[in-house]
Amino acid sequence: MILAIIATLATPIEGANNNYAWIFGGIIVGSIAGGISARRIQMTAMPQMVSIFNGLGGACAVVLAMVELVNMSNPSPGGIGIAILTLFIGGVAFTGSMLAFAKLQGLVWDSTITLPKHNIINIALLIATVVVGVLLYLQGAELSIGLLLIFMGMTLIYGFSFVAPIGGADMPVVISLLNSFTGLSAAAAGLLYDNQIMLVGGILVGASGTILTVLMCDAMNRSLINVLIGGFGGGGASAAKGDGDQVAKEVTLNDAAIQLYYSQSVMIVPGYGLAVAQAQKVCKEVDDLLEANGVDVKYAIHPVAGRMPGHMNVLLAEADVPYPKLLDLEDANSALPNTDIVIVVGANDVVNPAALDDPGSPIYGMPVLNVWEAKHVIVLKRSMSPGYAGIQNPLFFHDKNKMLFGDAKDSLGKIVSELKNL
């Protein structure tokens, strides 16, 4: 990107003011803000930062398109169409990403914000926005500033409304999709300015984001349309209620440490709770102690664990966990029947058996990690509260499962102490 900026600045443009003070001023301010943000951000807030950066990319596309539409002289029909498309995609990416950030940061009262018949409202709003965009296009060089502002406002509102009903459990898919939108808006801006570097960069981001979105949808056994209109993650009547006589069994720290120490194979299932507790390094310490005792330790990574694509991979890489120890969904499920103990650290929805046997559950049909097929399961959680999808997990009451309540970092730290004493 630095080379692209230098190459662009070095290219003479006829009639340009070449106001380098504004250009380099923006680069310096942006670099300082981005550098400080990246250094200070906690791993738990990484999805929020990704959402903000996605949104700012969309906002840039909106500004570029607005300036171009207002200042076009003798515009071609293709140029006007590209500018309108850039404005639309960028606007949706901007407000959609900002709402995704608010949901992830807990700034909204619920993971889903819906109105009655919200899907119909979204379709109607999209059609109305497209109609206004067509009217704007037909005006050509004589476009109305008022109509342009109305169109911009409608794209921003649609971006917000588009993300509003999507539940928390689908947030990794949404972030990936919004990332692809930002790339597409950058590619459209590259067409707008006849800038091949912007075009190629935008296509790379848009294509990779789209491919990742499709892969995650496949891993959840759901279509993208189902994710966008299904409201998955908002809870369900069948899965939200548990039987009143169900009792979860607990395990002591000493018993947990003894079981782990004398096992032959252990599989760790990380989830967002691991990130919240910042327990990845303590988890790696448990791993090292068990490996030193001849225990085979692996990690089961669900494609949508955490709050963004690859969240668990990044988290464990920070703790220097070797990549070959990380098993994907299919490999992990193949290994689970031969595993002595599974430790679930902060994961919930990705180990929920309701996905397989409860047709009334919102996550029914989604492939999950079949941890109950192992000989024993220990779940580390603060409480019995449901996960981000807002549904109860029958695993907590399974015969093979025992709960270890408390902060994950604290619990794992105490397990480390117990292991050292054995």
- Going from the C-alpha of 190 to that of each of 10, 53, 202, the distances in angstroms are 17, 19, 8
Asked if 222 and 366 count as a contact pair (C-beta separation under 8 A), the reply is: yes
**Nearest-angstrom CA–CA distance, 234 and 244:** 22
Least Cα distance to 3 among 205, 226, 142, 201 occurs for: 201
**Nearest-angstrom CA–CA distance, 316 and 282:** 11
Asked if 325 and 299 count as a contact pair (C-beta separation under 8 A), the reply is: yes
Q: Is 151 exposed, middle or buried (0-12, 13-18, 19+ CB in 10 A)?
A: buried
How many CB atoms are located within 10 Å of the residue 211 CB? 12
**Nearest-angstrom CA–CA distance, 253 and 286:** 13
- Cβ neighbours for 303, distance < 8 A, ≥ 6 positions apart: 172, 215, 216, 219, 220, 309, 328, 329
- Going from the C-alpha of 110 to that of each of 100, 218, 235, the distances in angstroms are 12, 27, 11
The C-alpha torsion from 113 through 114 and 118 to 121, rounded to 10°, is -60
Given the residues 296, 349, 357, 410, select the one marked as catalytic: 349
Sheet holding 401-405, edge to edge: 326-327, 296-300, 265-270, 341-345, 376-381, 401-405
- Going from the C-alpha of 281 to that of each of 199, 275, 287, 319, 420, the distances in angstroms are 40, 10, 10, 5, 16
Q: Is 157 exposed, middle or buried (0-12, 13-18, 19+ CB in 10 A)?
A: middle
Residue 349 known to be catalytic: yes
Q: What's the distance, CA 203 to chain centroid?
A: 20
Which residues are catalytically annotated? 349
